[in-house]
């Protein structure tokens, strides 16, 4: 049993499969804090967790192969000693996050049926991949004469045509474009720390790639080899699984025709809803004192309006920030804007050159009238229910599609449609 050495996990995680381990935090823990605690950070393993003894972690070796075939080897101790340490606050998000939504709305999808929690946020500590590649001897064209197709006029390899392939100790692998790897604002790390602690075993101990703003499949764990090449990684995770296709292309598409996923589109989700008496009884952790007063007072009750409090997250790839979060309490007929939580203004709270973190948001409003026509009966026919909807817009004004039917793909990747949650205001 290759899984017998897998680590012990937090019982609060919602487990999809045990061998290999795939689990997401419960919604109420997911974004309760800006940085997801290590023991609750979602886990996505394709195989077992490789065993690296703690005492021998500093001897863990990373081999680097350059386009000319030259190789260079660094132990973890050498990486730590030779290069400045950097910290970056970044989300990792699996391309399968919210896949169960797509299944519910648009039909069967292959893959783990994640809820809204195959995403988490952490502060990563490590050395810059760009620094390590330069030290290893990588020289590339400056881009001024690049052709995107091969050797630049300078005779050096064309930066735009190269890829950085990562592989891990259990043979998982994938790659990113070299342009991302060496972008001085790209913040790609070879990480050994997570939220001030050594990387936990499930998250890649002792060394992983962290590629902010890029689908998490490229943040290879238990990293032991890097190859700079004119080809993308040959792994199935580069050439097949983490691609997306048209609604009609089925489960066995022409794989080569699609580009591999790198930067991810904008998404958002509702992670908690409180209604009526729940709020009056003070159950909303971020609502107290003055905010609580005036919620659901007698006059509101007479008009059968119920207070509602909602929270969630919004995130976009590529370092794009979240410009706005729109919320609807009546299934998408009318909209209002949620309040974006200010997690990043304290110095040092969000480290890195771009918006690599998620934006948490909150909203307090009143449900539409219980007697209103917007409300429909639930399955049991006893309660009136309504549908809350959230959608986010990033700072390039990209927004989420309204439904999953138009972006349906048989693998269920990038399920980023408006997130809908049905609420029966009875608390
Ligand atoms: N790296 C290795 N070596 N093995 C893996 O199975 N899974 C990838 C990526 N890196 C994987 C890996 C995928 S698909 C995701 S979503 C992220 O790791 C998950 O990282 P996490 O478990 O730290 O959340
Ligand atoms: Mo993933």
Residues 366 and 242 in one domain: no
What gap in Å lies between CA 26 and CA 314, rounded to an integer?
17
238 with 364, same domain: the answer is no
Residue 154: per-residue pLDDT: 60
> What is the pLDDT, as a whole number, of residue 427?
47
Query: Ligand 1 in contact with 42 (CB < 6 A)?
Result: yes
Q: What is the pLDDT of residue 425?
A: 67
Residue 259 pLDDT exceeds 60: yes
When mean pLDDT is compared across 131-145, 183-197, 256-270, the lowest value belongs to 131-145
pLDDT category of residue 385 using cuts at 50, 70 and 90: confident
Q: For a pLDDT cut of 90, what percent of the chain falls above it?
A: 81
381 is a domain residue:
yes
Q: 334 and 383: one domain?
A: yes
Q: By alpha-carbon position, which residue is closest to atom 24 of ligand 1?
A: 43
**Residue 48 lies inside a defined structural domain of this protein:** yes
For the beta sheet containing 223-229, the strands, ordered from the edge strand earlier in sequence to the opposite edge, are: 71-75, 61-65, 223-229, 163-168, 173-177
Cα(172)–Cα(237) distance, integer angstroms: 8
ipTM: 1.00
- Which one of 203, 230, 257 terminates a domain? 257
Structural tokens at position 337: 């804007």
371 shares its domain with 404: yes
- Number of independent structural domains in the chain: 2
Token output for 108 = 């069967």
Whether residue 148 is predicted with pLDDT greater than 60 in this model: the reply is no
Name the percent of the chain in helix, strand, coil, to the closest 5. Answer: 15, 30, 55
The whole-number average pLDDT for the span 340-347 is 96
Beta bridge partners of 74: 62
pLDDT digits (tens, 9 = 90+) for 211-240: 999 999 999 999 999 999 999 999 999 999
Read off the CATH number of the domain in which 331 is found: 2.60.40.650
With contact defined as beta carbons under 8 Å apart, do 199 and 192 qualify? yes
* Whether residues 147 and 71 fall in one domain: yes
Query: Has residue 373 got a pLDDT over 50?
Result: no
What tens digit of pLDDT does each residue of 63-95 get? 999 999 999 999 999 999 999 999 999 999 999
Co-location of 239 and 295 in the same domain = no
- Mutational test site, ligand 1, from 21, 43, 46, 199, max ligand atoms within 8 Å of CB: 46
Give nearest CA residue, ligand 1 atom 22. Answer: 43
Residue 226 near residue 275 (C-beta atoms within 8 A): no
Query: What is the mean pLDDT of the segment spanning 181-203?
Result: 98
Q: Could you check whether the bond before residue 82 is cis, i.e. omega within 30 degrees of 0?
A: no
Does residue 8 belong to any structural domain of this protein? Answer: no
Mean pLDDT in the chain?
91
Q: Which residue has the higher pLDDT, 169 or 281?
A: 169
Determine, yes or no, domain membership for 9: no
Q: Give the residue, 195 or 154, on which the prediction is more confident.
A: 195
Q: What is the pLDDT of residue 370?
A: 55
In a domain, 129, yes or no: yes
What atom of ligand 1 comes closest to residue 46's alpha carbon? 6
**Ligand 1 site, residue 111, Cβ cutoff 6 A:** no
pLDDT grade, residue 141 (50/70/90)?
confident
CA 216 to ligand 2 center in whole angstroms: 6
Q: pLDDT exceeding 70 applies to what percent of the chain?
A: 89
The pLDDT of 323-339, averaged and rounded, is 96
The pLDDT assigned to 37 comes to 97
Question: Is residue 375 predicted with pLDDT exceeding 60?
Answer: no
Question: Would you state the pLDDT for residue 302?
Answer: 47
In angstroms, the CA 109 to CA 413 distance is: 9
Examine the pLDDT at 179 and tell me if it is beyond 80. Answer: yes
User: Is the pLDDT reported for residue 149 higher than 80?
Assistant: no
> Is residue 67 domain-shared with residue 36, that is, in the same domain?
yes
CA atoms lying within 13 Å on the CB side of residue 10: 18
Ligand 1 atom 9: residue of nearest CA: 217
For 1-11, the pLDDT digits (tens) are 999 999 999 99
Report d(CA 84, CA 177) in Å as an integer: 23
Q: In sequence order, which ranges of 290-413 are alpha helices (DSSP H)?
A: 298-302
pLDDT in tens, 150-172: 555 566 778 889 999 999 999 99
pLDDT at residue 377 is higher than 90: no
Pocket test for ligand 1, best of 2, 21, 45 (most atoms within 8 A of CB): 45
Strands, E assignment, 2-97: 14-17, 22-24, 43-44, 61-65, 71-75, 85-93
Q: Is the CB of 417 under 6 A from ligand 1?
A: no
Query: Is residue 314 lining ligand 1, measured as CB closer than 6 Å?
Result: no
Neighbours of 156 (CB within 10 A): 15
Asked, for residue 385, whether it belongs to a domain, the answer is yes
Task: Let me know whether 236 and 180 are in one domain.
Answer: yes
How high is the pLDDT of residue 69? Answer: 93
Which domain-ending residue is among 226, 257, 288? 257
Per-residue pLDDT at 319 exceeds 70: yes
User: Do 227 and 298 belong together in one domain?
Assistant: no
The verdict on residue 383 lying in a domain is yes
Domain with 86 in it: 14-257
Which of 234, 257, 280 marks a domain boundary? 257
Q: Using 50, 70 and 90 to split pLDDT, how confident is the model at 410?
A: very high
Which CATH number fits the domain that encloses residue 72? 3.90.420.10
Q: 45 C-alpha to center of ligand 1: Å?
A: 5
**CA 416 distance to own-chain centroid:** 12
Ligand 2 centroid vs 110 CA: distance in angstroms? 13
Residues 145 and 59 in one domain: yes
Our mutation pick for probing the ligand 1 site, out of 221, 236, 412, 414, counting the most ligand atoms within 8 A of Cβ, is 221
The pLDDT value given to residue 282: 86
| Average pLDDT over every residue of 118-140 | 97
Is residue 4 one of the residues assigned to a domain? no
Say what the pLDDT of residue 372 is. 47
Residue 248 CA neighbour count, 13 Å, CB half = 0
How many angstroms separate the CA atoms of 64 and 220, rounded? 15
Please indicate, yes or no, whether residues 244 and 361 belong to a single structural domain of this protein.
no
- CA atoms of 13 and 89, how far apart (whole Å): 22
Which mutation among 216, 218, 241 tests ligand 1's pocket best, with the greatest number of atoms within 8 A of CB? 216
Residues 288 and 345 in one domain: yes
Distance 241 CA to ligand 2 centre (A): 9
Would you mind telling me the total number of residues written for the chain in this entry? 427
pLDDT value for 290: 59
Q: Is the CB of 404 under 6 A from ligand 1?
A: no
What is the average per-residue pLDDT within 201-210?
Answer: 98
């Amino acid at each position: 049993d290759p899984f017998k050495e897998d680590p012990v996990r937090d019982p609060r995680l919602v487990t999809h499969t045990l061998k290999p381990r795939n689990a997401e935090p419960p919604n109420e823990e997911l974004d309760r804090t800006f940085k997801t605690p290590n023991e609750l950070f979602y886990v996505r393993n394709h195989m077992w967790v490789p065993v690296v003894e703690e005492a021998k972690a500093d001897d863990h070796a990373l081999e680097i192969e350059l386009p000319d075939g030259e190789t260079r080897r660094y132990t973890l101790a050498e990486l730590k000693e030779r290069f400045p340490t950097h910290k970056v606050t970044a989300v990792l998000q699996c391309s399968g996050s919210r896949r169960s939504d797509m299944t519910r709305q648009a039909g069967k999808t292959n893959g783990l049926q994640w809820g809204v929690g195959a995403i988490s946020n952490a502060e990563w500590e490590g050395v810059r991949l760009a620094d390590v590649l330069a030290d290893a001897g990588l020289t590339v064209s400056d881009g001024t004469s690049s052709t995107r197709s091969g050797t630049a006029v300078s005779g050096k390899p064309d930066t735009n045509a190269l890829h950085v392939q990562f592989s891990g100790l259990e043979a998982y692998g994938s790659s990113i474009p070299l342009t991302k790897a060496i972008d001085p604002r790209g913040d790609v790390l070879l990480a050994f720390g997570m939220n001030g602690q050594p990387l936990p075993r499930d998250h890649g101990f002792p060394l992983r790639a962290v590629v902010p703003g890029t689908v998490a499949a490229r943040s290879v764990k238990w990293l032991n080899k890097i190859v700079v090449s004119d080809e993308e990684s040959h792994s199935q995770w580069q050439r097949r699984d983490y691609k997306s296709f048209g609604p009609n292309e089925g489960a066995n598409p022409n794989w080569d025709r699609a580009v591999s996923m790198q930067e991810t589109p904008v998404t958002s989700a509702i992670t908690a809803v409180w209604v009526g008496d729940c709020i009056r009884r003070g159950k909303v952790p971020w609502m107290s004192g003055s905010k609580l007063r005036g919620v659901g007072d007698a006059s509101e009750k007479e008009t059968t309006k119920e207070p509602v409090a909602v929270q969630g997250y919004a995130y976009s790839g590529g370092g794009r920030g979240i410009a706005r979060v729109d919320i609807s309490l009546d299934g998408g007929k009318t909209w209002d804007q949620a309040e974006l939580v200010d997690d990043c203004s304290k110095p040092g709270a969000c480290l890195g050159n771009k918006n690599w973190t998620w934006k948490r948001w909150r909203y307090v409003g009143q449900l539409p009238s219980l007697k209103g026509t917007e409300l429909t009966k639930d399955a049991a026919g006893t309660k009136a229910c309504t549908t809350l909807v959230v959608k986010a817009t990033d700072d390039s004004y990209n927004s989420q599609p309204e439904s999953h039917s138009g972006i349906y793909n048989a693998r269920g990747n990038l399920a980023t449609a408006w997130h809908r949650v049905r609420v029966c205001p009875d608390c």
